[in-house]
Chains A and B, each alone.
Chain A
Amino acid sequence: MLKSKTFVKKTRSGGVMKIVREHYLRDDIWCGSEACTICKQESTVLEKDACSDSTICPYPHYLIPDTNVVLHQIDVLEDPVIRNVIILQTVLQEVRHRSAPIYKRLKDIIHEKEKHFYTFTNEHHRDTFIEREPGESANDRNDRAIRTSADWYGQHLKTAGPDGLKVVLLTNDQGNKQKAEESGLLVHRFEEYIKSLIAHPELVDRLALSNDDKNEITSSKVLFPEHLPLSRIQAGIKAGSFLQGTFRASRDNYLEATVFIQGESEDGTEVLIQGLQNLNRAVHQDVVALQLLPRNQWVAPSSVVLQDEGAAKDDNGDEEDEGKVLISTAETARKPTGKVVGIIKRNWRPFCGMLNVSQIKESTRHLFTPADRRIPRIRIETRQASTLAGQRIMVAIDGWPKDSRYPNGHFVRSLGNAGEKDTEQEVLLLEHDVPHQAFSQAVLSYLPKMPWAITPEDMEKREDLRNLTVCSVDPPGCTDIDDALHCRELENGNLEVGVHIADVSHFIRPGNALDREAANRGTTVYLCGKRIDMVPELLSSNLCSLQSTVDRLAFSCIWEMTHEAEILKTRFTKSVINSKASLTYAEAQMRIDDTTKNDSITKNLRGLNKLAKILKRRRIEKGALTLSSLEVRFHMDSETHDPIDLQTKELQETNSMVEEFMLLANISVAQKIYDEFSECALLRKHPAPPPSNYDILMKAAKSKHVDIHTDSAKALADSLDVARVDGFPYFNTLLRILATRCMMQAVYFCSGMDSDFHHYGLASPIYTHFTSPIRRYADIIVHRLLAVAIGADSTYPDLMDKQKQSALCNNLNYRHKMAQYAQRSSVAFHTQLFFKNRGILNEEGFVLFVRKNAIIVLIPKFGLEGTVFFDSKDKTGPKLVFDEEGPTLMVEQHTFHIFDKVKVTISLDDTNIQHQKIRMSLIHPVIPGVSVSASDIEPQTKKPRLDH
């Protein structure tokens, strides 16, 4: 049967078009129920015995949710308890139209067999298709279609199925429900139904708040200005009166945010937003429209650290002071300031965090504090507050009405008890968007079949370097060895040096599931005591890993050098190697130092070491920077995996030996692939920081009467080298730490999309990553490019497409950044664990930064940074005078400068389990009323024995 669907559409050019689609109705669409005796279906989805323990529907039944129920309550629908659901095509189409992510989740549920979700194509069914009536809105028509289908199902099951099998329509729409009741359908509000599942009270918490519920919660007082409708925002942006950008909340101050405007100018501008009203319910990462304030209302970013600590019911509490905080001072420091007028795209995701249990005992409404400080607290409703307290949970935001201080949300799932290592690890992986699920079957199917061996065909195409004395040097416990080295004297007296890199691109072929997964993950993430692999373990720790005494495929970069490390010849080749030894840095160092050893491996190492020193010296002469950041390493207890000691990483000569050759290989490869593919070479650059970045460094150095020149990398390196202060040996390291913070992020880019290739930190005109293909995807691409360049492999279209290449670079840069953050958080968490076990410690440290109301102190011994606050909310703080020029902070009589030596007590503040943090309080200098006396409990004197 043929029907036609007609609708009118506006075309892009402003015209109006009538569109007619043919629409065929069929009589062979089956109901999908196992109980049905009429339909000639081959397989069924809906169970015959569809009982749930609902008290209002004690009979077996199928559920038919309407569109809004699916859109808002997908979290509940995902629960395994909800089964035997009929998803109508009308609903599916509407969901797809309204929200792509929810549509995807719905599709996932439908595909899951255990859920028994059936899609009924009611729009093409002869009996359930309806046409829109005159005067009926599209929504009303869809509601009617849903009711018609529910009715059809009811009748159908009555005649075709066993007695008592019914369908229940779930809707939250009052009008729809009433009409359904009038036509004799079984209908319930979704909340009603979920609440009737008495065996599963936890589901109630996952209900998203519907509109009328919200009204009860919040006062009628309007706290925020209305958001403008999208049409006006678009017109405003077109006219230039509004700006569009990504909202980035400040980590330190919940009343402040910046919006990056992607303007026509390349760099993009940054607009400051201050105050609750101006932030206007924007959440971190939303795309917002904003209006610039008149110039006389511009302010400077405040240096106050402010955390939202309000109590649970402070809806009408302290907004007086929140509204007009911070009238800023210095005219010069003022930045363009604006206010948010509308939201273009929300970027809400489920957030990890913890529950702030309400003080009122019976209350079911609680505030949820996300782990990410940039996310505002979220109000949720739950009856299991007592169970959830102390657990890490995930919460999704449902909406943020203009009369509510906090957004409303609902509980999604629990991750486990706070403070437990697994829970915390899960949290930080989720928060940093690190893909950490197990590899899917599709991905694993592309792994080579075991047992794997090098085939004669492989040998034919590759150079056999198994006779060379190759060895690898890595940190202890490393299983993914991706580089190995060799060095030998040639007959002509020159040296041959080879860097051999695991040939990952041999195993990962472009475009397959394995490749796509690796490209998405971008990098292996190293956390304390855990590694999240980019490629499956079989490759990372076995087939690709250049273990000793086994034959492995490699991609080699071989130079012929003079003894003065002048490169005479460079060549690249795919090869087969057999590593003679895998050493740790310390082992390698010992071999070099031990004069009695004279085996070939040791000679090899000595040769390499000698060359590396020359290379390093030459690099530093060219202006490469030696920067410093304190890296911490934990000694883990072998059984509990708790950290039992912590020390800053020590660097050995051999570290820098390996590094030197890796740099050399990277630079050689970068040059080669750029020469070959000037448009699509994947390179890495490190832009020179803008001069203003160095302000803090210059000011800090000046306070110790040291001059730092920042005109060029070379000048900076030189001035850092000579910067010393008598009687303050740690000064130089501190300066280097500060200098590191001034730097820009190094990024991957596609050579066809950029013109500035310079690597500032390494003082190299061109650079890329070639040496770690097991843990970085960028290296895999570089391998492929190089393989094409030397004719060892074939190319494929995406490799030569600079747009795609550029998109890939963006993902890689994002993943690298996130991996770094995740790593830092992991260290921070383990530091907390460490201090939890240690009790209170007194340590010496240095002031690293001075803020308006706090100083940030670095404890070199632990590589730990902490904040000492001088004001607190509840009591009147000491008199503080902040001088931005210094910058110095005067607390009562004492003035703090950068680099001041202070003594602090360190303890773990777990009074507030929501946010465990390291607390530092001042012991020395003694400031009455501010500093505390040194605690009596001295740290354990006897250190437990270390594992290694």
Chain B
Amino acid sequence: MATVQVCEAEKVYILHGIRDDLRVDGRGCEDYRHMEIETDVVSNTDGSAKVTLGHTAVLVGIKAEIGKPRPMVPDEGYLEFFVDCSANATPEFEGRGGEELGMELSTTLYKVFNNKHSVDLKSLCITAAEHCWVLYVDVLLLQCDGNLYDAISIAIKAALFNTKIPRVHISVDEEGGKEIELSDDPYDCMRLDVTNVPCIVTLCKVGHRHVVDATLQEKACSVASLIISVTQKGTITCVRKVGGGSLDPESIFEMTEAGKRVGKALHAPLIKLLQQEESLGKKRQKVGFLG
């Protein structure tokens, strides 16, 4: 993970500010930085989204492919995650530098998203025990400026919202052989229900308080963070502690409560924004990567 060097005086300054609910960039403790979202940015995926949060930028692409359901859950499809830490994001990722972080991120994402409470996995099943849709979620880190989890989760939710899976029909001939037939209309596709898809809120313990959407400097002042995935309704689906330090039970409780609150407040405008963008249809001006 990208790190910055922060001197003691700076640390004290940041710490004291947070104690007074005033952060270096002027935000309150539970405020996010400026966020930009654009969907359908990569045309050869089935769904994609680009999110920038402060200077953090991530790109998520989703490809749907036909695969075989997992034997334990024959009537469900599944998701697979891959996080690519590009060396564009930070020189530390060069070579195999980003691998460990990538692994860590993708395992977390798998835990958060690949369950039937988050995504309707049953709708991804084509024929039980034979064919299902597998969603390959590829995350590309374009720039790291802290709070990767939140940015990635928002991008994934937006990309899932944007995903269009071609509708298929199964025809059965008299010998019992099954044949997958595609509709020839490119508009004939299935959309995913993203109502229950959670967002991740990372809370950073800085001094005695905790902040949302920590910058790299703030992160440097913290010893531990709590990753909480929250659904629209405020249900917590996953909690994970990252970082070297420890958290006492009381502050964990406080932090989850704060996470719930922030998460709930994050979902509503996000969905609204996505629907607004969708309704523009073809008239929408695409920004892309150079805009």
Interface residues of A, Cβ cutoff 8 Å to B: 4, 6-10, 14-16, 18-20, 131-138, 231-232, 235, 238-239, 241
Contacts and interface: CB of A to CB of B under 8 A. Distances in A.
B173 A232 contact: yes
Given A16-B168, A20-B43, A8 B65 contact: no
A231 B187 CA distance: 25
13 contacts: A6-B186, A8-B166, A8-B182, A14-B180, A15-B66, A16-B65, A16-B180, A20-B44, A131-B282, A137-B184, A232-B174, A235-B179, A238-B177
Nearest to A9: B182
Contacts of A137: 184-185
Nearest to B180: A14
Interface in B141-184: 166, 168, 171, 173-175, 177, 179-180, 182, 184
Q: Output the residue of A16, A138, A232, A238 with the most chain B CB within 10 A.
A: A16
B84 interface: no
Nearest to A7: B186
Given A16-B65, A135-B187, A137-B184, A235 B43 contact: no
B185 A231 contact: no
A15 B65 contact: yes
B120 interface: no
Nearest to B43: A20
B185 to A, nearest CB: 7
B66 A231 contact: no
B38 interface: no
Given A6-B43, A239-B175, A18 B187 contact: no
A19 B182 CA distance: 14
Nearest to B178: A14
A239 B179 CA distance: 14
Interface in B34-56: 43-46
Interface string B15-50: 000000000000000000000000000011110000
Top 10 closest A-B pairs, CB basis? A134-B187, A20-B44, A8-B166, A235-B173, A20-B43, A239-B175, A4-B43, A15-B66, A10-B182, A7-B186
Contacts of B182: 8-10, 16
Contact of B180 (A10, A20, A133): A10
Contact of B66 (A14, A19, A134, A241): A14
A8 B66 CA distance: 13
Contacts of A14: 66, 180
A7 B184 CA distance: 8
Interface string B104-122: 0000000000000000000
Interface of B: 43-46, 63-66, 166, 168, 171, 173-175, 177, 179-180, 182, 184-187, 282
A18 B44 contact: yes
A594 to B, nearest CB: 80
A925 B174 CA distance: 62
A6 B44 CA distance: 8
A559 B174 CA distance: 69
A318 to B, nearest CB: 36
A216 B185 CA distance: 34
Contacts of B65: 15-16
A231 B175 CA distance: 13
A291 to B, nearest CB: 13
Contacts of B175: 235, 239, 241
Given A6-B186, A8-B186, 9 more contacts: A8-B166, A15-B66, A16-B180, A16-B182, A18-B166, A132-B185, A137-B184, A138-B184, A231-B171
Contacts of A138: 184-185
B134 to A, nearest CB: 10
Nearest to B282: A131
A16 B166 contact: yes
A133 to B, nearest CB: 8
B46 A18 contact: yes
A712 to B, nearest CB: 49
A1 to B, nearest CB: 14
B65 to A, nearest CB: 6
B280 to A, nearest CB: 15
A16 B63 CA distance: 10
A10 to B, nearest CB: 5
A239 B176 CA distance: 11
* Residue in B44, B63, B168 whose Cβ sees the most chain A Cβ within 10 Å: B44
A98 to B, nearest CB: 15
Contacts of B63: 18
A7 B65 CA distance: 15
Contacts of A133: 187
Contacts of B177: 235, 238-239
A463 B65 CA distance: 71
Contacts of A7: 186
A21 to B, nearest CB: 10
A6 B164 CA distance: 12
Nearest to B168: A16
B258 to A, nearest CB: 41
Nearest to A5: B186
B214 to A, nearest CB: 38
A235 B174 CA distance: 9
Contacts of A18: 44-46, 63, 166
A242 to B, nearest CB: 11
B138 to A, nearest CB: 14
A25 to B, nearest CB: 15
A97 to B, nearest CB: 13
Nearest to A137: B185
A134 B43 CA distance: 17
A16 to B, nearest CB: 6
A138 B185 CA distance: 7
B184 A132 contact: no
A591 B175 CA distance: 78
A135 B182 CA distance: 15
B47 to A, nearest CB: 10
Given A6-B43, A8-B166, A235-B177, A132 B66 contact: no
Contacts of B44: 18-20
Contacts of A134: 187
Contacts of A239: 175, 177
A136 B180 contact: no
A135 B185 contact: yes
A382 B151 CA distance: 75
B88 to A, nearest CB: 23
Contacts of A231: 171, 173, 179
Contacts of A235: 173-175, 177, 179
A137 B180 CA distance: 20
Residue from B44, B168, B185 whose CB has the most chain A CB atoms within 10 Å: B185
A412 to B, nearest CB: 34
Nearest to A133: B187
Contacts of A20: 43-44
Contacts of A9: 182
A53 to B, nearest CB: 42
Contacts of A136: 185, 187
B205 to A, nearest CB: 44
Nearest to A134: B187
A782 B154 CA distance: 74
Contact of A16 (B45, B66, B185): B66
A135 B43 CA distance: 20
Contacts of B168: 16
A657 B15 CA distance: 118
Nearest to B165: A16
Contacts of A135: 185, 187
Nearest to B185: A137
Contacts of A4: 43
Most buried by B among A4, A8, A231, A232: A8
A251 to B, nearest CB: 37
A528 B63 CA distance: 70
Contacts of B43: 4, 6, 20
A631 B99 CA distance: 86
A19 B186 CA distance: 11
A238 B175 CA distance: 10
